[in-house]
Structure 1
């Protein structure tokens, strides 16, 4: 392959080197920040053999090329444009300038929560394994596995302890990540998180009961009472406290003499932020978080399968905007309070949407006569079933449109079914076929049925719509011929 020629053709199709503000690449895609995306010749770009698909999201224009190719073309591209070699992080920072306030807020949440997802996923999957061991009637009629095999009881207890750790100490993870994102010292953020879950404090999960009984412990400082309550499993309080910590630290660094900065700035930052956290920020945001969680649960319980259908219908369009990253914070809150919420209903609905997108792309593989589209549809369809939908959605379904409509219809049907049957996840993970391990033991059967529905409806509807699409194209061609 002539990589220099391919890079030049791509460059011409995206508006020339003057239109490229920043460029990097990941394993399969060119990630570009363009000065004006209106200058992209999409038709010309789609006809290039090396291009497997394109999409724009989060201020970036991404071109799917594939592994083993993207790095060579990237090298030729930056050589032609005169740009310096950049990382994906550099490109993210450049693309942020093009985002509106809402998109920047969503990106901020994504920047905070994406780095801690591995810890939450690991803990959640361990929780899922524990549920498999303790769920009655799943493997043995009338009993759980540990009831049928008492020697496994301590193993389940061990796994349960491992699974709880990330959620009990969640403020430490969020404090580290959020303070770093807001421009503060990440380790001070971790220390703030530790302060919020200190064992001397009343456990956050026991606060409601202690409040009802009037037994909430307090610090009495010069007649002013401050509740000694922890923030285990919370999200909003530590987000707000981390933001304040970062700004307080930045403020002290500006006014503290350099000789005393290392000593005084951390001390004063933690002390001031800690006081604000326990007197005002924590109580207010704890109440706001409880209202948010209760509201989500109420909506889920009240709207029922209709609400599930609507969310299934809208999930893929939300992914297109990038707004789905904001769900991470909500899911984390639901999972952190699993004793109250039972788990997350968002993850199963996301999985139904992903399976539906993958199924629609696979249907295109069977109906299209375009060899290039066949190759993209087969690979991206399988990827979609495994939970990674961007190649299927942007490379196939949105490009042809009718598979996308079929997919969101299939997602709506499947989401309505799993919502009606109260299918919840106890962990984050790959939202697709592998997501079965993240589901509550008693809900696994319904999750499987939901995936079958998502696949079948999307696949069959894509086949049906493809025939109508072909008929419409033939009619248009006939009309054009007669007009000529």
Structure 2
């Protein structure tokens, strides 16, 4: 592959130099913000050497090259296009201006929760392993080793409002350390631990108002709303507080005002919102059962196209932090949808002899089995339409199975094969069966459906 030649060929297919605003790249994709997306010649771009797919998402044109190649193409492209190099975040900020309010909200939640995922994955993985060894009696639950490991597994959920406070404040334009402080106020030891409410809690009389002294450990929406309010207060104070007093008065007043409002108004309202969402979802799963799982599993791949799926991390974290739920019953459904798209993608390999298409199919299908479906969906399945439909069918049936079998996970962020690490021990077998159903059905339907795969 001649990266310089590919870079030069891309420029006119993107509408020319004057149509290219910024260019950045992530691990696998060239991310471009264009003046007019309608000038993009998508099919011609996908026919270029090394291109594994091209799609529009979050206000950007994203061209899949794969790791190890995309950085070379990017370096050649900015020279060919005559533009300056942009960071991924700069390109994302410019692209955000082109999004509608709903898409901006999804992007906002994604930016807040994606940095937190490693902590939740680590805690959830350890929590799942501890649950397994406790179930089978391999370790004494009262031993010092188990107790210390249990502390490690629950820490991320206990301080979740602090982690969210930091990233949310950074995203809302406030001081992230003040955001973390506000998260600390909502989880202060003076408040009854959210998981110990069943044993009773105290109330506090505040000028005639009875305030429940309950903490917000593991919650999501209270701290999100509180930090959003805090950021507004901080920005307004910085406009009116004299510069000489800014470093003293602004943080002081910000913490006092936002802390009181969070404890008295926003916290309880946010808890009601989070509990309401969790109640609706758990009720749907409990009463609609496999039907709800089928609908969610079928629709998830459609939602992935819009990029809104990243906002689900907030809901999943809320489920894990809810004392009455404590598990993630949504992620197994998403896993089935991802695996199904991988199966549908792999079937294309058996239906074509085109070398370029085959070279894209195998790595894309394997990536989907690891939970990353963009290459399979945008590079293969959507290109031929019917494989995507096959993936929806497989995802629906797999989703129905895992819900019917009560498969749950203990964290967020891992799906498909890696998701086995955070599946509850009692659900491993049914999770594997669900993946076999999703993959097998999608593969078979994609293989049997008739559609034309043109050689390029």
TM category (shorter chain) comes to over 0.9
Q: 2:379 pairs with 373, 377, 395, which one? A: 395
Query: What does residue 425 of structure 2 align with?
Result: 441
Query: What does residue 448 of structure 2 align with?
Result: 464
2-side partners of 1:411 and 1:153: how far apart?
42
Query: What does residue 138 of structure 1 align with?
Result: none
Query: What does residue 244 of structure 2 align with?
Result: 259
The 3-state SS of whatever aligns with 1:241 is helix
1-side partners of 2:428 and 2:400: how far apart?
16
Deviates more, 1:415-424 or 1:152-161: 152-161
1:228 equivalent to 2:218? Answer no
The 3-state SS of whatever aligns with 1:23 is strand
Q: 2:179 pairs with 157, 169, 189, which one? A: 189
The 3-state SS of whatever aligns with 1:145 is coil
Deviations 1:216-258 (A, max 9, x none): 331x455554433211111111001101111111111111111
Deviation, structure 1 residue 299: 1.1
Higher radius of gyration, 1 or 2: 1
1:326-337 matches, cutoff 5 A: 326-337=311-322
RMSD across aligned positions (CA): 1.8
2-side partners of 1:325 and 1:67: how far apart?
22
Q: 2:191 pairs with 192, 196, 201, which one? A: 201
1:267-286 matches, cutoff 5 A: 267-286=252-271
Contact 2:313–2:412 under 8 Å retained in 1? no
1:8 equivalent to 2:8? Answer yes
Q: 1:168 pairs with 158, 166, 171, which one? A: 158
Contact 1:227–1:278 under 8 Å retained in 2? no
Deviations 1:114-146 (A, max 9, x none): 1111111111111111111122xxxxxxxx133
1:307 equivalent to 2:292? Answer yes
Contact 1:436–1:444 under 8 Å retained in 2? yes
The 3-state SS of whatever aligns with 1:21 is strand
Query: What does residue 137 of structure 2 align with?
Result: 145
2-side partners of 1:7 and 1:156: how far apart?
55
2-side partners of 1:28 and 1:439: how far apart?
28
1:298–1:224 CA distance, 2 compared to 1 (3 A) = closer
Deviation, structure 1 residue 151: 8.9
Q: 2:360 pairs with 373, 376, 383, which one? A: 376
1-side partners of 2:240 and 2:332: how far apart?
50
Deviation, structure 1 residue 101: 0.5
2-side partners of 1:350 and 1:95: how far apart?
27
2-side partners of 1:151 and 1:247: how far apart?
46
Runs of at least 4 residues of structure 1 off by over 6 A? none
Deviations 1:410-463 (A, max 9, x none): 111111111111111111242011211211111111101001111111111111
Query: What does residue 216 of structure 1 align with?
Result: 202
Query: What does residue 325 of structure 1 align with?
Result: 310
Q: Structure 2-normalised TM-score? A: 0.96
1:44–1:330 CA distance, 2 compared to 1 (3 A) = same
Q: Structure 1-normalised TM-score? A: 0.90
2-side partners of 1:69 and 1:150: how far apart?
50
Query: What does residue 479 of structure 1 align with?
Result: none
1-side partners of 2:109 and 2:371: how far apart?
21
2-side partners of 1:410 and 1:353: how far apart?
7
2-side partners of 1:57 and 1:102: how far apart?
13
1:13–1:152 CA distance, 2 compared to 1 (3 A) = farther
**Uncovered stretches (5+) of structure 1, i.e. residues with no partner:** 136-143, 474-484
2-side partners of 1:223 and 1:318: how far apart?
47
Contact 2:371–2:416 under 8 Å retained in 1? yes
1:129-144 matches, cutoff 5 A: 129-135=129-135, 144=136
2-side partners of 1:418 and 1:116: how far apart?
26
2-side partners of 1:82 and 1:291: how far apart?
52
2-side partners of 1:156 and 1:463: how far apart?
49
**Uncovered stretches (5+) of structure 2, i.e. residues with no partner:** none
Q: 1:428 pairs with 406, 412, 419, which one? A: 412
2-side partners of 1:231 and 1:408: how far apart?
37
1:230–1:401 CA distance, 2 compared to 1 (3 A) = same
Contact 2:165–2:223 under 8 Å retained in 1? yes
